Structure 1
Amino acid sequence: MKVLVTGAGGMLGRALTGAWRELGRDDELIGITRAAADLRDARVVSEAVERIRPDVIVHTAARVGGIGANIAAPAQFLSDNLRIDTSVIGAALHSGVEEFVYLGSSCMYPRDYRQPLVETDILQAPLEPTNEGYAIAKIAGAKLCAYTSREHSVNYRVIIPSNLYGPYDHFGSMASHLVAAALHKAHLARQSGDETIDVWGDGTARREFTYVGDLAGWIAENIGHVAEWPDMMNVGIGKDYSVREFYEAALRAVNYRAELRFDPSKPAGMMQKLMDSSLARQHGWDPRTDIDQGMARTYTAYLESATA
């Protein structure tokens, strides 16, 4: 079996490659990075998939960013992700790929809706405005997979991870999400001796973050059995923490003390976004990495990348 991973240079793509090696699978895994191919270009994608002829595609590639980036460029997040997804899914179908794993996003869920969120909650209420462009694109990609499966009798499945963190995350940029940003700020504070760290919002918004290695290992183990999955599944740890708690965990990982200075005038996004992952647990999903373990591993990787 030959497996193609898009976004192989990203956090999940790299973790999946590592998990594949650890399992010692004989199947061939081939990665496509952003530098190797512009996945927004349907012709480029079609030629690549035809050349590789994979049996399975794990589609992790996307234009992603933190709250600031999503607010600043919603048109780019919408258009780029629509183009990426239609190019990759279309090329997969044209080349006869029968097993396809699409990575959705918890941003697909409505804002201020019931907690925890279940798969049928998608499109039931308005989206969070701060990342609406990205969310619309991911919903469209997920629906395209579902429609393609039904119309062409293929196994195109969608998994919706909670927010992810871990080695090779985006640190200190507009693409940074909460955990990476918290670790980066805590590290800089320790380096400079700053006694305060600025945080957007009032610190009470809650988020669910899953360690990327847990998800990568589970995907790698299930390649070849995706047909047994339902159309869509949440994959999260089933527990959320406040923004304050994430920053406190980041400070513990960095081994530093500083005062958190919250700014309620800045947007914080949805107040809570906890998912029900019971469907995935029926298919072997069992994340084991807690927040302190994951933060420590991520910070170690962050330091190694800074000195590489």
Structure 2
Amino acid sequence: MERDARIFVAGSERFVGAALVRRLAAAGHEKIVGFGDEMPDLRDAVEMDEFFATEKPDYVFLLGGLSGGIVRNQREPASLMLDNLRIETAVLPAAQRHGAKKLVYLAAACIYPRECEQPMRPSQLGASPVEPTSEAYAMAKWAGLVLCRAFAQEHGARFVTAIPANPFGPGDDTRSEDAHVVGALLRRMHDAKLAGDAEVVVWGTGRARRDFLFVDDLADALVFVMERYEDAAAPINVSGGSDVSIGEVAERIQKVVGYPGRLVFDASRPDGAPRKTLDGAALAALGWRPRTTLDDALTATYRDFLAQEALRA
């Protein structure tokens, strides 16, 4: 991307978008449009058309809409699906219509089949049903991927798709039951430590395995994909390089937080997919690999959490 290019991060208010804005700013990009008070409504097709006509962004990162952990996916499947579909059908046509040079769409690992050979490769997409607990959200993210392909096929648009591992890091939601696993466990153990609680309950058996990706590494990968990847027909994975159980992640968070109590795994709660790890070979072959170890990423996340808690006090 040219240093003076106009860049639109669609979804900059969420933690992945905020990390991406930091990464772009650090690289010297000053023309980041639609940020802060100037943020348009991504769900409004008319407003998005006007925004693209006026701001004329050269490069677009489409990071999507609402998301959440298992609790939110089970409670609000229609809301999650509609929010993401509205954003995709508002932003993608506007980007094509007004001549954006390139767009990177951020999908989600839940679009892979529940029973999928590991590590997961894009060639396996659509081979069998997705995990039922996140089906509605997954179908919306899948639709975004297919729509990017369709714009590339019909209009020659340079719309490429990245599929990330489970992102976490500074700025992620920790304050509600809708939080993803790392944020939820970090909050729960921190509060239990302060309250002197003897135990913390972890949903599921703890045996489900995940690939976790530090948000700063994801931001770096998205810039890399924008600059180096061109195959609109084939999405590319962004792996964090980890393959760890939820139980192991919980124990690592316990160590980082310094919580002295006991972890209790509630097997009556759903695990979600038994295993989700991404094959990151394609991106590695182009020259990108994650830089941050899981332990260092968890430590940085908790450090930011403590800083935010101090500001709220």
Q: Which of 136, 143, 164 pairs up with 1:140?
A: 143
Partner of 1:103: 106
Partner of 1:12: 16
Query: Residue by residue, what CA displacement relative to the aligned partner does 1:194-241 show, whole Å, maximum 9, x if unpaired?
Result: 110011111111111100101212323554444377631000123211
The amino acid of 1:239's aligned partner reads: S
Structural mapping, 1:56-135, within 5 Å? 56-135=59-138
TM-score by length of 2: 0.93
Q: Is the 8 A contact 1:206 1:272 kept in 2?
A: yes
1:175 aligned to 2:146? no
Q: Distance in 1 between matches of 2:283 and 2:47?
A: 34
Partner of 1:242: 245
Q: Is the 8 A contact 1:7 1:33 kept in 2?
A: no
Partner of 2:292: 289
Deviation at 1:172, TM superposition (A): 2.5
100-109 or 246-255, which deviates more: 246-255
Partner of 2:27: 23
Q: Distance in 2 between matches of 1:237 and 1:177?
A: 16
27-36 or 183-192, which deviates more: 27-36
Q: Is the 8 A contact 1:45 1:87 kept in 2?
A: yes
Deviation at 1:89, TM superposition (A): 0.4
Any gaps of 5 or more consecutive residues in structure 2? none
Q: Distance in 2 between matches of 1:178 and 1:70?
A: 13
272-281 or 28-37, which deviates more: 28-37
Compared CA separation, residues 60 and 33, structure 1 to 2 (3 A): farther
Deviation at 1:24, TM superposition (A): 2.5
Q: Distance in 2 between matches of 1:267 and 1:6?
A: 32
Output the aligned Cα RMSD: 1.7
Compared CA separation, residues 4 and 36, structure 1 to 2 (3 A): closer
Partner of 1:40: 43
Q: Is the 8 A contact 2:237 2:283 kept in 1?
A: yes
Aligned length: 307
Query: Residue by residue, what CA displacement relative to the aligned partner does 1:10-52 show, whole Å, maximum 9, x if unpaired?
Result: 1111111111222234x52224469933211111111112221
Identity %: 35
Compared CA separation, residues 201 and 231, structure 1 to 2 (3 A): same
Q: Distance in 1 between matches of 2:48 and 2:177?
A: 27
1:159 aligned to 2:166? no
Compared CA separation, residues 192 and 253, structure 1 to 2 (3 A): same
Compared CA separation, residues 150 and 250, structure 1 to 2 (3 A): same
Partner of 1:2: 6
Q: Distance in 2 between matches of 1:34 and 1:131?
A: 32
Aligned to 1:282, the other structure's residue is in SS state helix
Q: Is the 8 A contact 1:7 1:31 kept in 2?
A: no
Q: Distance in 1 between matches of 2:176 and 2:93?
A: 32
Aligned to 1:102, the other structure's residue is in SS state strand
